[in-house]
Structure 1
Amino acid sequence: MSISIWDNLPREIWEKILDSLDTHGLQQAQNTCASWREIVLAYIMNGRLGNRALKLDRRRHSESDAPGSLLEHRNCTWDSLLVQVDRPILLTGMGVYAPQGASETIISVDARPFVFPLRPLDVETKLNSEFEDSTNKVIGIFAKVPFVIDSNSLWEMALNISTSRSAFSNRTIWSQSGSYHNRVESNGTYFTFCSSEKSFPWRSSSIDGQFPFLFFWKL
C-alpha cells in the first residue's frame, strides 16, 4: 500500500489502527516519515494516548521502600510544581497519590505557562484517569488536550484535592507524600523541577509531596 493511500484514510480508521499500538509501536510509526509523524501527533493531541505515554518517575525511592510520610489535603490548598525541559514535549498527564479518608473526593489538576499574569486554572473539564498499579496508590490523570511545552520554558503544574459537596466536611483527606529528585532524565529528555515560591494557599511539591509521575511524549 502506498503512502498516498495511507494518507487518504479517514481519521476514524487511523484512530482504530493507532489504538492497537503500544508505546514502542507509536514511536516507530511517528519516526517512519513526515506524514506519519503528523498523523501520530494529531492522534496524541486528541487525548487518546492514556497510559501508553512515556512515563517519568521523580521519586527518590521505589514504591516498596518509600518513606511512610503523609500529606494532608484541604479544600483551599493547592499543590504546585514548576517544570522545565531541555527539548520540546507534550505533557499528556500527571500521576498523583490517591486521596484517602473521605468517601467522595474531587481531584483537580491543570498545567499552565508560568508567565504573569498567570492563566486561570481549569477546574471544570472532566479528565480521564486510571490507577497506575494494583496497589491503587497512584492515579494517572490524563489531559483532554496535551500541553505543548517548549524547551527551557517554565510551566506550573497545579493540584487540588477536596471533599465533594455531598461528603462530610469534617473528614480529613490525606495521601502518601513522595521524596523527589530535582533533575531527572527520561527517554533522552531532561526535566528540572523547582518551587514556585508562592505563599498560601499554595504548597510546593518540588522536594516532597505530590506529582510522583509525569506522562509525556517527545516531539
Structure 2
Amino acid sequence: MARLSALVEATAEATGWSSNNVSLYARYAREAGYIKQAARGMAAAEMGASDGAALLGAMMASHYAKDTKHTLDDLQETVRTFNGWDNAYFDSIKDFEMIMRPVPMLIMSDNLERVVTLPKCLDFLAAQHSILGLLTGLIERAADGSLARFISKGRGTYGTVGLNLVVQRSPLAANLELIAGSWSRGKNSIGQVVGKIDYHFPRADIWRGDLISLHKVSHYTILRMGKALA
C-alpha cells in the first residue's frame, strides 16, 4: 500500500500535471473527507482505490482545486445511464467474446431488454454505481493486475485493447469507452469504440452554454495509479 505522496507522484507522472498541482487537489480532497488522513511519517494513512478515485475525479471534473469538495459530492451522485454498454458497437464485432470472459449484464435499449457481456475484470460495472464508483473499481482492478491482463489479452486479436475515460465538467457527465484495434498516441487509446457506458448527474442543468470542457485519460493513468497502490 502507498502513502498519499506516492499516489500524488504516480498521478502526476501519468497525467503530465505538476506534483504541486496534484498535491493541491489531494489536499482539498483530504480536507473534504474523500481521502484518508492520519498522522505524518510512519503513521501516515495508507491509500486505497477510493482515495485514488477521489483524487483523479477531482482533477478531471473540478474547474478549480478549491471546488474539489463540491465536485466530489456531485460525482458521488452521478448514475450510470440505464442502457449500459451501447449494444450497437458490439454488433459489429462478433468474436469480441474471445477476449472478454463474459459476465451477463441486462440493459434496456429502445425499450427492449437485451443481455450483453462485460469483461470479467469489469464485472463491477453491471451494478449501478457513480463515477467515483467507476474510478474506484478501475483502480482496484489495476492494483490487482486484472486490468493489465485484460488489456494484454486483447493483443494479437485486435492489435490491442484499451479504455478511455472522458469527463465533461459542465454539465457534469462522463463516459467509459472500450477501444479495440487501438494504439497509443501519448496517453490516449485510439481505435474503434466497441463499447461505451454513459454517466450523468441527475440534477444537471440541461443548458449552460455552448462551451463544453472535457478531460480524458486512458487506461495508462489508471494502471499507473493502480501500480502505485499495489
Q: TM-score range by the shorter chain?
A: under 0.3
TM-score (norm 2): 0.27
Between 1 and 2, higher relative CO (CA 8 Å, sep ≥ 6) is seen in 1
Higher normalized strand content (fraction of residues): 1
By percentage of residues, which structure has more helix? 2
